[in-house]
Amino acid sequence: MDDNREHHCIICNQQKSDGQGIRIVSGFICETCEEEMVRTDVKDAKYPFFIHQMKQIFLGENA
Ligand SMILES: [Zn+2]
């Protein structure tokens, strides 16, 4: 089946065969990244990176 694609994390770019995580519009965020995002403070340097990755999805950049 072709649902592997849906478990390709858009944050860390890793394939998650167990599918643990959250699926959004046209992408997937693995459990690890989801937890990291939740823990990441707005003032953290990583935060803009997460937002950037998320925006790409919500803007429908998916080919
Ligand atoms: Zn991830």
Place of tokens 């519009």: 25
Which of 22, 21, 16 minimizes the C-alpha distance to 3?
Answer: 16
Q: How far, in Å, is the centroid of ligand 1 from the Cα of 11? A: 5
Amino acid, single-letter form, for residue 63: A
Q: Is the pTM of this model over 0.85?
A: no
pLDDT in tens, 44-55: 999 998 888 888
Phi-psi region of 57 (alpha: psi -120 to 50; beta: other; left: phi over 0): alpha
Domain boundaries, the chain: 4-58
pLDDT in tens, 2-61: 554 568 898 999 988 877 888 877 788 999 999 998 899 989 999 998 888 888 777 765
Q: How far, in Å, is the centroid of ligand 1 from the Cα of 10? A: 7
What the block records as the tokens of 55 is 């925006």
